[in-house]
Amino acid sequence: MGASFRIAISAFVLSCLVGPHAASAHAIIVSSAPAAGAIVSGDAVSIRLHFNSRIDHARSKLTLFAPNGVSQAVTPAADAPVDELNADAAHLSSGAWRLRWQVLSVDGHITRGDIPFNVR
């Protein structure tokens, strides 16, 4: 066997060992309600975040930022499926809101992001 063949085989084995773990290392949003840029009617919104892997509900957070910049914590539902973070928010004024989420995947990686939406 030549050196280049051994290097190619080693690279392939390493990618097989590292690849699956890297792909599942972070919880990534598969779908969200409200969706980014959505316009919701009324003063209440059902928050439904679906992830590509299980998340640790006890260590996950949701925060809403009002049009005036004031933040409020939102308590996630305790009975959500293992790959979802769900909550309900009420008494939202009209304007541009931002939902900030932070989750801990069961393998210990934290991911976070923001979902902007509008209430009218």
Domain-located, residue 8: no
> Quick one: pLDDT at residue 18?
41
- pLDDT of res. 107: 83
Whether 18 is in a domain gets the answer no
Is 10 contained in some domain? no
Q: Is there a domain that residue 7 lies in?
A: no
Q: In the chain, how many domains are there?
A: 1
Q: Give, for all 120 residues of the chain, the pLDDT tens digit.
A: 565 545 444 444 434 444 444 445 689 999 999 999 999 999 999 999 999 999 999 999 999 999 999 999 999 999 999 999 999 999 999 999 999 999 999 889 999 999 999 999
> What's the CATH code of the domain at 81?
2.60.40.1220
Does a structural domain hold residue 17? no
* 21 CB neighbour count, 10 Å cutoff: 9
Range of the domain at 111: 27-119
pLDDT of 4: 54
DSSP string of 20-49, one letter each residue = HHHHTSS--EEEEESPTT-EE-SS-EEEEE
3-state SS, residue 91: coil
Any domain includes 31: yes
What does the pLDDT read at residue 2?
Answer: 61
pLDDT at position 26, please? 86
Kindly state whether residue 67 falls inside one of the protein's structural domains. yes
pLDDT value of position 61 = 96
pLDDT at 17: 42
Q: Is residue 63 part of a domain?
A: yes
Residues 6+ apart with CB under 8 A from 3: none
